[in-house]
Structure 1
Amino acid sequence: MDALALTGRCFQGQCSRLRRFLAFSFSPVPTARRTLKALDDALADVVWLLRISSPHADMLGLPNLLRGDPKLFLVWDHIARVRHGSPAVRADSASVLASLARDSPRFAELIVEEDGVRPLVNLIKAGNDGGKEAAATALGLLGCDEESVDGLLRADVCFVCAAALKEPSMSVQAAVAEAIALLAHHNHRLQDSFAQTDALHLLLSHLDDSSRTSNGPSGDQPETKARMKAMAAKAVWKLARGHVAVCQSITESGALLCFARFLDRGGVGSEMRFYSAMTIMEITRAAELNLALRQSAFKPAAKAAVTDQILRIVREDDDPLLLPCGL
C-alpha cells in the first residue's frame, strides 16, 4: 500500500522526479524488443519501489530510472529509511541527509523536492533523541531557496520546531534552536512564521536558569547545557534581526537583563557573549527606527538601569566581541 500511495503521489502535482518515472518507463518505442526491454526495466523499478516501501527489506541497489543520477538515489534511499526504518536507522539516515544538505545546496533542494521534509518532521515528533536531533539539523539546512521555503511552511516546520523546544533532552533543544537560527537567518518568511509561535518565549526561558530544571545525562550536562544556551541565544538574535515585533517581545519579557548578565559574566562562553551582544545591537537598531519600541525598551526607569549596566560593561571591557553593543 505504501508503494501504491508513493506512486499515486507522483500524479498529484508534487515537484518530484519520481512522478515522471512511469511516463518515462512506458513511453512509446518503435520496436517490440525495445518495448519488452522498457517493460522489464519498469517492472524492476516497481519492484524497487516495493522494496523501499518495506520497513525490513534490503534497500541496496540502484533502480533503472536512477542510473544516470546516483545523487537522487542517495536522497530517495535515505528518505525511505527515515520514513520506514527502525529508530536507529531513521536517526542514521537523517544524519546522512543533514550531511548531504550541508555539503551541497543541490542535495538540499532534492530533499525538499523528493518529499523528504515530512519524514524529517515526523521524526522530530516521534523519533528517539538521536533521531530528533538529526532531523532538526537536517531541516535547518533546507531553507535555501523560495521553493524549499514553501515546502517547509507547508509541513508546519516552524510550529513543530517550536514544540520541540519543550523536549527534556538538552541536545535536542540545542539542535532545534540552531535549526531555528539557520532558518530565520535565511528567509524572512520563516522568521515571521517563527514569530507567530511560542518559539521566542521558549528560547528566552532556556536562557533563564531560574525557569528551568535539567534532565540531561549528568556526564554531559555542563557542556550540553552550555551549547543549548548558546544556540538559544543565537536563535533569539536571528529572530530579532530586523523584526520590530520580536524586539518588542524581548524587551517586554525582561530578557535584556539576562543578556546584560551574559555580557558581564566572566565564565560564560565567547559564543554566548557574542550572541548576546548581537541581540542587543538588533534591539538598539530597531529602536532607532521605531519610537514606540524606543520608549518601551529604554525609557522606563527599571529598563534604563539595565541599559546603564550594558553601557558600563561595554565601556569597561575591551573584549572585541562586545563591539556590536557600542555601535
Structure 2
Amino acid sequence: MVASTATSTPSTLDREKTLQNELALPILLTDRLIKSADEAKSSRSDYVELARQADELSQKLRAAVRLSSSPSSSSSIYDRPIRRIAADVTKNLERALTLVRKCKHTGLLRHVFLTITSSAADFKKVSNLLQSSIADFGWLLSIYSDDEGGANLAIPPIVSNDPIFAWVWSYIASLQVNRQVKDRIESANHLASLAGDNQRYRKLIVEEGAVWPLLRLLKDGGGSPDGQIAAATALYMLVDEVERTRIVAAEGGIPIMVQVFAESCMNVQIAVAELVAKVAEIDSIAREEFGKENLLKQLISCLIMEVDMEEYRQYHSGGGKNSIHSIVQKELAAKNYPNYNNRFHSHGNGSNTYSYTKVHSCSSFDSRVGGSSYNRKEKENESPEVKLKLKVMCALALWRLCEGSVLNSQKVAEPKGLFCLSKIIETEKGELQYHCLMTIMEVAKVAEDNADLRKVSWKPSSPPAKAVLEQLLRVIKEESIPDIQIAAIRAIGCLARIFSAKETGIASSLVSQLGNRDVDVATEAAIALAKFACPDNHNCVAHSKTIIEFNGVPLLMKLSAVSDRSRKHGLVLLCYLSMHVGNSKELAEARALKTLENASAMAQNAELKELFSRAVHHLMLYQDGSHPHHHSFAVV
C-alpha cells in the first residue's frame, strides 16, 4: 500500500474516471436490487424495505459521483475513504441481490419453505448491512461538506472496530477540500498529535494519503504562517523512517520545503529547518537532493544574521590573480570540482554565490523563486529569541545535511561558510555553538576520505580554514562541556593529514586532553592522536615524536587503565608510538613492551592482535623486556 502511494500520482482526469467507474458498479447493483424487489410476489414488507434502502443508497452513491465530478472539487477530492466504502457497499449489495433472486426463482412450496425457515433472518441480516452502508455513505458525504466546519469525528459502521481510520480520513479530507484555513490548520494539528502517539498511527496516516495535502498546506498555508507551521509540524512527526521520507520526496516535498524556507517568515523557517534536519538525518538520498536544490546557501545566509563578517570581506577585498580566493578558484576549476562552474558563475558576475555584504535576512534567494512575501525589515524586527531559534535550527539542518555528503560538505567548506561557522563558534554558546561544531565535524569527516576537499578547503594556511582551526583549538583548551570538546577533538582528528610536521601545537593540545577528567574526552583525544600517528599519515613519525615530547606516554598509560574503551584506543596509540619511535626512553620507562606483550597475548580481535605483535617486534629492537614490573590489562 505504501509503495503505491510513493509511485507517480495519476492525472486528475484518470483518477476521476477511475473513481466514477468504481461508483458505477454499486449504483448498477442498487438499480437491479430495486427492480428485483419490485418483481417479488411474497414477503412483500421485506422486499419493500430492501427496495427503500436500495433507493436511499442509490441517491447517496449518485451524490458521491456528482461530488467527484464537480469542477470545484474534482482536482482535490480525497478518494481513499470513497474507494474503501464503495468496495464494502458493493459486497453488501451483491449479497442482498443474491438473496432476493434466490427467493424469487424457487417454486411455490420451496419458496414457502425458504420464507419460513431462513428468509426472515436473512432479510434482517441483509437489511442491517444495507443500513450500515447507508450510514457509511452518509458519513462519507458529510466529511466533504463545507457546511460542517471542521473534521467530522463521528464513527461510521465500516470502521467501528478501528475508529482511528475515521479520524484520519476526516482530518485528511478536511485538509484537502477547500475549507476555511482554521479548519485545515486544526486538522493538521490533529494529525500531528495522532502521529506522535505511536508508530502504527504514523504508518496509517501516510498510507491513507496525508502527505500531499500536508505539503500543499505547507506550500500555501492558506495564506497563513500558522498553516505552514502546522503542516511542517505534522510532516515532522510523520517522517521518522526512510520509507516515509521517500514518500514525501516522491510527492515533491523537497523543492517545496526549499521554496517555503526561502520565501517565508522566520517562524515558518524555524519549522521548515527542523523538518529538513529530520529528513536529512534519516535519508542520505534526501541530503543530496536538498544540496542540489541549493538549500545550504539559504541556511548559511540565515546563520549570518547579525554576525560580523568583516574578516570575510577583507579576505575577498584582496582579489586578484594572486589572492588566496583566486588560487582556490583556479584549483577547483583545474580539478573540475563538481558543480563548481554552476555554483560560482551562475549569476553572471563571476563572483561567489554569496553576497559580500553583511546579511540580515534570508531574502537573497527571493529573486530566483519569485520574491518573498516577508521583507527584510520585518525580519530585522523579529525578537532576539526568534532569531536565535532560527539560527539554531539552521545550524542543526546544516549538520544533518553534511553527514556523509561530499556535495553538501563542499558547499559548507566554501570560504563564507567556514568564516561564518568559525565566528559563531567563537561568539555563541549552547545549542547554536554545538550544532556549528557538529557541522564542522561532519565536513571534516568527509574531508578525511576526500583528498580534493582537504587540499582545496582545509589548507592550514588558508584564512577560512585557519579561522576554523583556531576556534577548534580554543574550544579544546577552554571549554569544559564534554560534548563541545569531543566535537572539536573529532574534527581535528579527521583533519590530521593536513598538518605538517612543524605544526606541533595541534598535537600538543590533544595530548593535554589525555589527562582530562572526563574519560570520554580523554579517549577521543587518544583516537584523534592515533590518526596523527598512524602509518597512513605522511608525518606520522614527526607527530609521534611530538606526542612523546609533550609527555603523552605517562598520560596514555593512565588512560589505558580506566575503562575497556579507553584501554583499547590507548593501546592502539601506544602501538603507533612504539612502531615509529621505538627507541624512546619514555616508552622504556613506561614499560610499553611488557604492556603490549600482555595485550597481544590476551587480545581476541585478530586485527588488534596483529597490530600489538608488530609494535612488540619494533620495541624488541631497542628494549629487552626485562623490567621487573609491568602493567596488566584485561582482554581487548
Q: Displacement of 1:134 after TM fit?
A: 1.1
After alignment, is 100-109 or 287-296 more displaced?
100-109
What is the alpha-carbon distance in structure 1 between the residues aligned to residue 186 and residue 416 of structure 2? Answer: 40
Q: Displacement of 1:195 after TM fit?
A: 2.1
Partner of 1:19: 83
What is the alpha-carbon distance in structure 2 between the residues aligned to residue 108 and residue 239 of structure 1? Answer: 24
Which amino acid counterpart does residue 108 of structure 1 have in structure 2? R
Partner of 2:432: 272
Scaled by the length of structure 1, the TM-score of the pair is 0.89
Q: Displacement of 1:72 after TM fit?
A: 1.8
Question: 4+ runs of 1 displaced by more than 6 Å?
Answer: none
Partner of 2:37: none
Which amino acid counterpart does residue 208 of structure 2 have in structure 1? E
Note if contact 2:267-2:386 (Cα within 8 Å) is conserved in structure 1: yes
Scaled by the length of structure 2, the TM-score of the pair is 0.47
What is the alpha-carbon distance in structure 1 between the residues aligned to residue 429 and residue 225 of structure 2? Answer: 25
Within a 5 Å distance, the mapping from 1:57-206 to structure 2 comes to 57=148, 59-84=152-177, 85-127=179-221, 128-206=224-302
What is the alpha-carbon distance in structure 1 between the residues aligned to residue 290 and residue 214 of structure 2? Answer: 18
Q: 1:32 aligns with which of 123, 130, 151?
A: 123
Q: Which is greater in Rg?
A: 2
Deviations 1:94-151 (A, max 9, x none): 1221122122222221121111111111111111100101101111222234442342
Give the 3 Å change call, closer, same or farther, for CA 152–114 of structure 1 in structure 2.
Answer: same
Partner of 1:237: 399
Which amino acid counterpart does residue 488 of structure 2 have in structure 1? C
Q: Displacement of 1:291 after TM fit?
A: 0.4
Which amino acid counterpart does residue 42 of structure 1 have in structure 2? S
Q: What 5-or-longer segments of structure 2 have no aligned partner?
A: 1-11, 23-77, 100-121, 306-357, 362-375, 491-636
Partner of 1:246: 408
Note if contact 1:7-1:19 (Cα within 8 Å) is conserved in structure 2: no
Give the 3 Å change call, closer, same or farther, for CA 304–203 of structure 1 in structure 2.
Answer: closer
Q: 1:308 aligns with which of 469, 472, 485?
A: 469
After alignment, is 234-243 or 312-321 more displaced?
312-321
Q: Displacement of 1:69 after TM fit?
A: 0.8
After alignment, is 108-117 or 136-145 more displaced?
136-145
Which amino acid counterpart does residue 284 of structure 1 have in structure 2? A
Which amino acid counterpart does residue 312 of structure 1 have in structure 2? L
Q: Displacement of 1:16 after TM fit?
A: 5.5
Give the 3 Å change call, closer, same or farther, for CA 145–307 of structure 1 in structure 2.
Answer: closer
What is the alpha-carbon distance in structure 1 between the residues aligned to residue 140 and residue 377 of structure 2? Answer: 44
Which amino acid counterpart does residue 489 of structure 2 have in structure 1? G
Partner of 1:55: 146
Please tell me the root mean square deviation across aligned C-alpha atoms, in Å. 2.7
Deviations 1:216-273 (A, max 9, x none): 595x6211111111001000100001111110111125211111111111xx351101
The answer to which structure, 1 or 2, has the higher relative contact order (CA under 8 A, 6+ apart) is 1
What is the alpha-carbon distance in structure 2 between the residues aligned to residue 157 and residue 168 of structure 1? Answer: 16
Q: Displacement of 1:63 after TM fit?
A: 1.1
Give the 3 Å change call, closer, same or farther, for CA 280–147 of structure 1 in structure 2.
Answer: closer
Note if contact 1:237-1:279 (Cα within 8 Å) is conserved in structure 2: yes
Note if contact 1:181-1:235 (Cα within 8 Å) is conserved in structure 2: yes
What is the alpha-carbon distance in structure 2 between the residues aligned to residue 7 and residue 73 of structure 1? Answer: 23
Give the 3 Å change call, closer, same or farther, for CA 144–22 of structure 1 in structure 2.
Answer: same
Give the 3 Å change call, closer, same or farther, for CA 77–273 of structure 1 in structure 2.
Answer: same
Which amino acid counterpart does residue 60 of structure 1 have in structure 2? L
Q: 1:296 aligns with which of 442, 447, 456?
A: 456
Note if contact 1:16-1:114 (Cα within 8 Å) is conserved in structure 2: yes
* Aligned positions, number: 320
Note if contact 1:9-1:19 (Cα within 8 Å) is conserved in structure 2: no
Which amino acid counterpart does residue 75 of structure 1 have in structure 2? V
Q: 2:479 aligns with which of 311, 314, 318?
A: 318
Q: Displacement of 1:204 after TM fit?
A: 1.3
Note if contact 2:233-2:271 (Cα within 8 Å) is conserved in structure 1: yes
2:263 partner SS: coil
